[in-house]
Chains A and B, each alone.
Chain A
Amino acid sequence: MRQTAGTLNRTLLAILGILVLAAGLALLLQASGILPTLANTPPAGRKVVSGDLHPFFSQPSAVSVLLVIGVLTAVLALVWIIAQIPRKNPADAYRLDDDGAQGRTICDPSVLATAVENQVNTLPGVVGSSAMLRGTAEEPDLTLKVTVNDRADVRELLRHLESSTLPDLSAALEAPLQRRRLQIDVSGRTQSTGIVAHSTGVVLK
């Protein structure tokens, strides 16, 4: 139901991996003596900086540069951590008008999601549901989580969702669903929403 930063993590970890791999290769080449031969770098074991480093790092400019680098690294790390928080990432309000010249028509996706939930909750064995719409009004995506009890006929539930719930949503939006994600959980709770049934009995006077 929620979106995580999987793609971002993979991309950043790949970049970091490449950088670390390059550094490791450079160290190996340096240690084996190949790099000094190829790039004319100082051989391994020789000191490249002579004297005390303290005067260099005590300069105000060096301190400022290190401070900026540190803060930048910390901010980037913080942004990366914040990106790990799972997000629902719901769609913006759906525009249901063609051009808007005669007025706009707006429907919040949560309104449609609630209608879907109300419809699903009346199905036999369903104890709860949660719907989320993403995408646009022309290309909507539906993520539906349905919680059923152990008495539910899951096959019948799926058949009903395919034959009624999803087509109803498409009919309301007048657009086919681009992607549909369905998650079914089983719970020990009992159904509390009731079922709307058509009465066919005889009226007694």
Chain B
Amino acid sequence: MNPQGAHALPFTVGDDTGSGDIDSRGQTVLAHKVIEKIASQVASDESLAGGSSGGFLGIGTHADLSARPKASVELSGNIATLSVEVGMLYPVPLRQATEALRQRIGARVTELTGLEVRQVDIKVSWLTSDRGDGRGRRRLL
């Protein structure tokens, strides 16, 4: 029986199962948080999306393109619906950027977890024109 907030991965059975019962091999369980972290890490690593960092208990956080976006997952059997809250560079074409992000998250989460990602909801929560890489830029005060 799965603990609440977890998803049991189905076994992938090869051509030659060898000896022994499949059920006796045990069960791999992914917690919701694992799926959420995979989604947010994919969004952070493989796109220009960012998250929030700093602060205490959610107070005083600031936009950070190098931080992981916030992600949440709803599971219904083997079907996942993801929600991601991201920040992006301004001005990027938001439709194209978010669509690419959606495709990427869906493909990678499916690839890494075996879940079928049916929907990825994206909320753009902030936009910044500062890449934050500090390359050749100085702020004159």
Instruction: Flag A166-204 by CB within 8 Å of B: 1 or 0 each.
Output: 001101111000000000000000000011111100000
B91 at the interface (CB under 8 A from A): yes
Task: Tell me if B127 and A115 are in contact (CB < 8 A).
Answer: yes
Asked if A62 is an interface residue, CB under 8 A from chain B, the answer is no
Write out, one digit per residue, whether chain A residues 49-60 have a CB within 8 A of any chain B CB (1) or not (0): 000000000000
Residues of A within 8 A of B122 (CB): 103-106
When the two chains form their complex, are residues A96 and B98 in contact, meaning their CB atoms are under 8 A apart? yes
Contacts of A84-125 to chain B: CB distance below 8 A: 96-98, 101-108, 111-112, 114-115, 118-119
A105: contacting residue among B102, B128, B141, CB under 8 A? B102
Residues of chain A within 8 A of B99, CB atoms compared: 97, 105
Given A103-B102, A111-B127, residue A96 in contact with residue B90 (CB < 8 A)? no
B63 to chain A, nearest CB (A): 10
Chain B's interface size range is 20 to 34
In the complex, chain A residues whose CB is within 8 Å of the CB of B129: 115, 118-119
* B45 nearest CB across to chain A (Å): 20
- B127 close to A172 (CB less than 8 A): yes
- Give the chain A neighbours of B127 by CB distance below 8 A: 111-112, 114-115, 172
Q: Contact between A119 and B137 (Cβ–Cβ < 8 Å)?
A: no
CB distance from A167 to the nearest CB of B (A): 8
Min CB distance, B65 to chain A, in Å?
14
Q: Which residues of B contact A119 (CB under 8 A)?
A: 90, 129
Cα of A106 to Cα of B130 in the assembled complex, Å = 22
Shortest CB distance B81–A (Å)? 8
* B125 close to A (CB within 8 Å): yes
Within 8 Å of chain A (Cβ to Cβ): is B9?
no
Residues from chain B with Cβ under 8 Å of A197 in the complex: 137-138, 140
State in angstroms the CA–CA spacing of A111 and B85 once bound together: 13
Interface of chain B residues 42 through 86 with chain A (CB within 8 A):
81-82
Q: Is the CB of B137 within 8 A of A107?
A: no
Contact check, B136 vs A196: say whether CB atoms are below 8 A apart: no
The answer to the question of B92 belonging to the interface, with a C-beta cut-off of 8 Å to chain A, is: yes
Say which residue of B91, B102, B140 sits within 8 Å of A169 (CB atoms).
B91
Given contacts A107-B124, A111-B124, contact A96 B95 (CB under 8 A): yes
Cross-chain pairs A/B with CB under 8 angstroms, 11 sampled: A96-B124, A103-B119, A105-B99, A107-B124, A115-B90, A168-B90, A171-B91, A174-B94, A196-B139, A199-B136, A199-B138
**3 shortest A-B CB distances, which residue pairs?**
A168-B91, A115-B127, A107-B124
